[in-house]
Every structure is written in C-alpha cells, then in structure tokens.
Amino acid sequence: MSNPQQLRYSKEHEWLSAVEDGVATIGITEFAANALGDVVYAQLPEVGDTVTAGETCGELESTKSVSDLYSPVTGEVTAANQDVVDDPSLVNSAPFEGGWLFKVRVADEPKDLLSADEYTEFSGN
C-alpha cells in the first residue's frame, strides 16, 4: 500500500490534496477503506455546509461497520462527489482518485497534518 507523497493526512485517516485556488479535495485513505471493508453507503456534507477540522461531517457505512467521516480542515464545502453517493464502492476501489469525498474552500488548515511518510509510520502500513 502506497500513500501518495503529494497528499497530507490526518490521524483520523482522511487525506487532503494541496490547496489550489483556496480549495482542497478530501477523501479517506486506502488503509481506512481496507479497514472499513466494502463501503455500501456514503453520507457526505452538502455544498454550502461549513465543516470544522476534527469534527464529524458525514458517515461511511460498510458491510462491517459504520464510521464517522471527519474533516481535516475548516471551511465551506464547494463540492460533494455524487459518484461516491451513487456507487460507494469507489471509496474502496479508488480511494485516492475517483473515490474522493468532498472539496472544501479552506478557511483554516491545522498544523498537525502528516506527510505521506509520517502517515505510513502512524498507520503501521
């Protein structure tokens, strides 16, 4: 399992793309997707919602369990991935590509996000 070097990671197992024009893309890591098992339902924040770093903003349900989705940053949601809502298995099959979850206009970015190497060490994979 390889965590893309260009992303940053939270200890709640979300990834964050580089901020471009004030907007970052957020998803869950391959480690988290594998731990969840087959994702069968995704409840994502809606466009216009405000999310806060470290707080719950949605939910992923799998054949094994239900898991809260946490935002790694504070800001306003600018897009939610309707493809994931329609086909939640994208979270498992393409967690770093088509399985992204939502986009946020970043107002505040925490300083404790991890690099790919730090996340790999943290998650033990």
Q: What is the pLDDT of residues 42-88, one digit of tens each?
A: 999 999 999 999 999 999 999 988 999 999 999 999 999 999 999 99
Q: Hey, what are 64's tokens?
A: 């094994």
Instruction: Look up the pTM and report it.
Output: 0.93
Q: Residue 1: its pLDDT value, please?
A: 59
Mean pLDDT over 95-105 rounds to 96
Q: What are phi and psi of 99, to 5 degrees?
A: -90, 15
- Bridge partner residues of 25 (DSSP): 103
User: What SS3 class is residue 69?
Assistant: strand
Residues of the chain with pLDDT > 90, as a percent, come to: 87
**Residue 98 confidence (pLDDT) above 70:** yes
Contact by Cβ (8 Å): 34, 67 = no
Q: Is 21 exposed, middle or buried (0-12, 13-18, 19+ CB in 10 A)?
A: exposed
